[in-house]
Amino acid sequence: MASLRDIKTRINSTKKTQQITKAMEMVAASKLNRAQVLAESYASYAEKIRDVVASIASTNTADASHPMLEARSVKKTAYVLIFSDSGLAGGYNANLIRDFLAKMEERHSSSEDYGVIVIGRIGSELIKKRNIHVFGEITGIPDEPTFADIKKVTSQAVDLYAKEEVDELYVWYNHFISPIQQQVTETKLLPLSNLSEQVEVKQMYEYEPSAEAILEQLLPQYAESLIFGALLDAKASEFGARMTAMSAATDNAESLIDELTLSYNRARQAAITQEISEIVGGAAALE
């Protein structure tokens, strides 16, 4: 049985841990609010550029063609995986890698049929443990990222498709639903072969000098913007998952403190009873 000193030490250490998890919960909640604002504000830009691209794609004219709009025989696929740089976020990273690996086993007969671009230190460590080809990786993404922070990796992803090193490009990330719910999501980036069917064209545009020239500049930017939008969404999910995990840890610490306090009081009562018994026994022996 643990001594009173041991129990008291555990109570004090658990209280200190609880203070840390509570502080981390509050920090995550603050970062979540800012991440949601960034994700929502960027969504307006992404929607507008998507409408413009869809408008061009729906024209069905010869000068509105582009390799990124045309599907081709798939020999190799690239996946952009968005993880976090740090842990203590519940199942945020574990759920993503588990679902991704399960889908790859179902979709591809060989690991040579696909490769990945990894965003986030946790993901980099998880992928390196497995026989998966890595096209590139980036870590140390700020909590409030800008497009410049991931420009290199987004350009690399689009270039892989443009140079026909891969024939499909997808992004995998945790979509934010609520602070307590994140959903592993796969979005096809390239080719954009059915974009005009997915998006309702709200208005038509006139292009100068030509639709083809506009597509040449706009399509790579649009594909890169999808990756950045997914990153902002994933950041909100990360902070929501971390806030929930730290809240659960704080509650568990409170429960453990209650149990230890009860054990401490019982042990203290038993020690007092034992001392009284010894005093009474000693007094009786002197009579």
CATH among 3.40.1380.10, 3.30.300.30, 3.30.70.890, 3.40.50.2300 for 30-243: 3.40.1380.10
Q: Where residue 25 falls among pLDDT bands split at 50, 70, 90? A: very high
Determine the angle formed by the axes of helices 211-286 and 147-162, rounding to 10 degrees.
Answer: 120
Would you say residue 37 has pLDDT above 70? yes
Per-domain boundaries in the chain: 4-25+245-281, 30-243
- The pLDDT assigned to 62 comes to 47
Least confident of 128-142, 208-222, 257-271: 208-222
**Homologous superfamily, domain 4-25+245-281:** ATP synthase, gamma subunit, helix hairpin domain (1.10.287.80)
Show contacts of 192-195: CB within 8 Å, 24+ apart.
192/53, 192/57, 192/68, 192/69, 192/219, 192/222, 192/223, 193/69, 193/70, 193/71, 195/50, 195/53, 195/54, 195/57, 195/69
**pTM for the full predicted model:** 0.85
Q: Which residues of 111-127 are buried (b: 16+ CB within 10 A; e: fewer)?
A: eeebbbbbbbbbbbebb
